[in-house]
Amino acid sequence: MSIEEIDEEESSSHESNENIVVTSLEEENDDWIGFEESTESRFYDEMLANLGQRSFSRFSEFADKLNRLRINHNISSKAVKEINSIYMDLIENPPKESAFIEGVTRFSNSKFLMDKFITRKENYTKSIQYVKGDISFSYVSIKDIIPILINEDILSSIMSEDQNNVSRYVNSLNLQKTIRIILYADDFGMVNPIGFARGRHKIFSVYMDIDCPMKLRQKSRDIPCVVLAERKQGLKSEKLSVVLKPLVDELKFLSEYGIFLEEFNINVPVKLAFIIGDNLAVAELLGFRQTFGKNFICRYCNSTYAQIKDKDQIEGQLNYMLPENVVHEELAKIKGNKNYKSQYGIKFESPFLSVPINIFQISPPDIFHDFVEGPLGDIIKIIIKKTKVGRENLKRKMAIKYVNDKISFGKKEQIMGKAAQKFEFFCRLIEIFPEWLTDPPEIFYFYDLVRRMIGLMFSKPTESGLKELRKLIKSFQKDIKKYDLIKPKTHFISHYPSLMEFYGCLTAFSTMAWERKHRMLKVLMQHSKNFKNVAKTLMILHQAKLSYESISTPNEWPLNKNIVRLINDEKSSTFILAHSFIKIGNKLLVEGEKITTIPTELPYLKKTISIEKSVRYDTNQISHINCFTFLDKKFVNFIQS
């Protein structure tokens, strides 16, 4: 997880939302910015003078029709421009064949032909519709998805794996040189969660990706959707096996035979390696108890609420070390005695057990839900309260340039904002309060402690780093008792060093990018009036959109927000502050200031020693993690992720 990820996907979602609701003409039309009323009036005066009254009347009729269409159908000005450019190309370069114009007219007037064209595209993957009793769902074959996801870089990364460059988990299951599938599952609502339609059109979704280096992973917009099903009365936890059967059957087949990649003329093993999501979704997919009561709050260690409050509790053996036979023994006890309560939180048989999987191992922790959506908001609240800065003064200090919208404060200093905003705000507190560097308040110790923890939790684990993280978490556990922050999610963090030793870098399993996929699907549904079979309609729209998404490539990042990015393969800590982007062929170059830094006593702070102007780099040489310069450029706020 990084602030860069947040920005890139957030901005794309805002762009999509432009197609849904036009709140006001001035707000929606950015082209009006900077124009005086007199300038706008001259345009029409000049048109009348150049065209004459008769032609100007025809132009006015055209403008009126276009505006009526734009407003009545909520079409963005950006879409109008793109459609105009298509037709202007035909006007300026008219085809010689009359059949061409006839074809364009017929195509434009037929939704069937437009939809049919999409299904003819090479990268279009058709979904399959299933109806089982009162349960209906849509499924996209993962055997069709995998060849689309695998490119030369990903395949090369997979085939170069050995025991020394993969995690203990991958080694323990002998998954090197294997296409390791990651599944993410979650529910999302298509209507207002607090309105009269609350609970209607709730969608169960499953997405997938391939385990590979983060720079090669799919962006949110490209993540494939595998299953969509409407959560009706019949689709409860134990019935998920019906919806997941086509997926499970394919996973079993691929696990046995692998997949032949025609493009590369090679057969590669395939295994289901990870199932991720929030605690509720993971518990449902793996057959665990979905509610955490006082007698069971942690699926990693079986702790009770009383135990996590015990300051002398020592971490024992974690459940990921349990053998697979424990699961089957527990399930036998559950089937034999309806009143039996498993000490491991197992409640029913997971649909994925036949793949097979080890339910204790297959789901690494989600640092996004456990930490960013969990205690981070409370931590910010404590720090702000202890700084004793007035609200107006704080508001003034917060006026820095954010990648995401800045947070706000509600009643009783409640932190208002999305998890992404809270994460950025916390990391950038050192910029908001630069005086902490020379005159740190008492609460700075707590900020520094958590900031150092973030740097280690969000990074690739090393022996020395894990040793330091254990020490920091021990101090953190003492502080949260003092601030009354003992909760299940703060307890989960105590297991992170051990879990990082086993799974590797936990940011690889953060669900932030996956959750943003929901927003894209909600936007797509706005294009349809069909609410009779929401899952089917949504999957068809999604597959159509996915066929028009380009393969994930290096992206530009926002300018004028004090963002700097680390230049890879440089001997010193050098960053680039982008001023512009230049496309040359298939390459994307960034031009800007090269900032060379040296370390300080704070691992997340770099001191600037030189600035070189007008340098250029290929964006492939640049890290995807956003860091930030202080306003005076004397320091770089280094976001470790």
In the chain, the number of structural domains is 3
User: Is there a domain that residue 171 lies in?
Assistant: yes
More confident residue, 384 or 518: 384
Together in a domain, 263 and 210:
yes
Together in a domain, 467 and 435:
yes
More confident residue, 451 or 1: 451
User: Is there a domain that residue 56 lies in?
Assistant: no
User: Is there a domain that residue 135 lies in?
Assistant: yes
Give the integer Cα–Cα distance in Å for 624 and 215: 8
- Compute and round to an integer the Cα radius of gyration of the chain: 27
Range among 215-229, 298-312, 609-623 with highest mean pLDDT value: 609-623
Give the integer Cα–Cα distance in Å for 270 and 14: 36
pLDDT of residue 554: 60
Together in a domain, 530 and 577:
no
- Sign of the four-CA dihedral 27, 28, 34, 38: negative
Give the integer Cα–Cα distance in Å for 140 and 159: 26
Together in a domain, 390 and 360:
no
pLDDT of residue 17: 36
- Sign of the four-CA dihedral 154, 180, 279, 546: positive
Q: What is the pLDDT of residues 67-78, one digit of tens each?
A: 888 888 778 888
- Nearest partner of 124 among 543, 476, 641, judged by Cα: 543
- Token readout for 162 is 């050995």
pLDDT at 556 over 80: yes
pLDDT at 23 over 50: no
Give the integer Cα–Cα distance in Å for 340 and 60: 77
Cβ-Cβ contacts under 8 Å for 11 (sequence gap 6 or more): 558
Using pLDDT thresholds of 50, 70 and 90, give the confidence band for residue 35. very low
Together in a domain, 239 and 359:
yes
Q: Give the predicted TM-score (pTM) of the model.
A: 0.85
pLDDT at 471 over 80: yes
pLDDT of residue 315: 62
Residue 338, amino acid: K
User: Is there a domain that residue 303 lies in?
Assistant: yes
Using pLDDT thresholds of 50, 70 and 90, give the confidence band for residue 32. very low
Q: Give the Cα-Cα-Cα angle 492, 497, 501 (nearest 5 degrees).
A: 125
pLDDT of residue 641: 66
Q: Does residue 11 come out as left (phi exceeding 0), alpha (psi in the -120 to 50 range) or beta?
A: alpha
Using a pLDDT cut of 90, give the percent of the chain over it. 52
Pairing of strands 179-189, 270-276: parallel
Using pLDDT thresholds of 50, 70 and 90, give the confidence band for residue 225. very high
User: Is there a domain that residue 120 lies in?
Assistant: no
Together in a domain, 239 and 334:
yes
Residue 409, amino acid: F
Q: Residue 236 is inside which H or E element, if any?
A: none
pLDDT at 293 over 80: no
Helix (H, G, I), strand (E, B) or coil at 406: coil
Longest dimension (CA), the chain: 90
Q: What is the pLDDT of residues 131-189, one digit of tens each?
A: 888 888 999 999 999 999 999 999 999 999 999 999 999 999 999 999 999 999 998 88
- Side-chain-facing half-sphere of 537: CA atoms under 13 Å: 17
Range among 168-177, 304-313, 381-390 with highest mean pLDDT value: 168-177
More confident residue, 75 or 263: 263
Q: What is the pLDDT of residues 413-460, one digit of tens each?
A: 788 888 899 999 999 999 999 999 999 999 999 999 999 999 999 999
pLDDT of residue 311: 56
User: Is there a domain that residue 620 lies in?
Assistant: yes
| Average pLDDT for 481-496 | 88
Together in a domain, 482 and 626:
no
What is each CA distance from 320 to 300, 358, 501, 502, 504, in whole angstroms? Answer: 7, 9, 12, 9, 14
User: Is there a domain that residue 527 lies in?
Assistant: yes
pLDDT of residue 173: 95
Give the integer Cα–Cα distance in Å for 141 and 576: 42
Together in a domain, 351 and 481:
no
More confident residue, 190 or 631: 631
φ and ψ at 461, to 5 degrees?
A: -70, 140
Using pLDDT thresholds of 50, 70 and 90, give the confidence band for residue 539. very high
| Average pLDDT for 230-246 | 82
Together in a domain, 448 and 570:
no
The full 3-state SS of 3-46, as one line of letters, equals HHHHHHHHHHHHHHHCCCCCCCHHHHCHHHCCCCHHHHHHHHHH
User: Is there a domain that residue 3 lies in?
Assistant: no
| Average pLDDT for 237-261 | 93
69-96 core/surface letters (b: 16 or more CB in 10 A; e: else): ebeeeebbbeeeeeeeeeeeeeeeeeee
Q: What is the pLDDT of residues 341-364, one digit of tens each?
A: 888 889 999 999 999 999 999 999
| Average pLDDT for 593-602 | 96
- Rounded to the nearest 5 percent, the helix, strand and coil shares of the chain are 45, 15, 35
- Nearest partner of 447 among 415, 421, 483, judged by Cα: 483
Range among 57-71, 183-197, 494-508 with highest mean pLDDT value: 494-508
Cβ-Cβ contacts under 8 Å for 70 (sequence gap 6 or more): 77, 80
More confident residue, 302 or 227: 227
pLDDT of residue 306: 78
Range among 117-131, 398-412, 477-491 with highest mean pLDDT value: 117-131
What is each CA distance from 579 to 8, 378, 564, 585, in whole angstroms? Answer: 17, 36, 10, 20
| Residue span of the structural domain in which 430 resides | 375-486
Cβ-Cβ contacts under 8 Å for 607 (sequence gap 6 or more): 597, 598, 599, 600, 634, 635, 636
Together in a domain, 143 and 279:
yes
Together in a domain, 471 and 533:
no
pLDDT of residue 231: 84
Together in a domain, 259 and 347:
yes
Q: 10-24, 58-72, 89-103: lowest mean pLDDT where? A: 10-24
pLDDT at 13 over 50: no
pLDDT at 5 over 90: no
Cβ-Cβ contacts under 8 Å for 634 (sequence gap 6 or more): 607, 608
pLDDT of residue 532: 75
pLDDT at 505 over 50: yes
Q: Give the Cα-Cα-Cα angle 54, 57, 59 (nearest 5 degrees).
A: 115
pLDDT at 549 over 80: no
pLDDT at 18 over 50: no
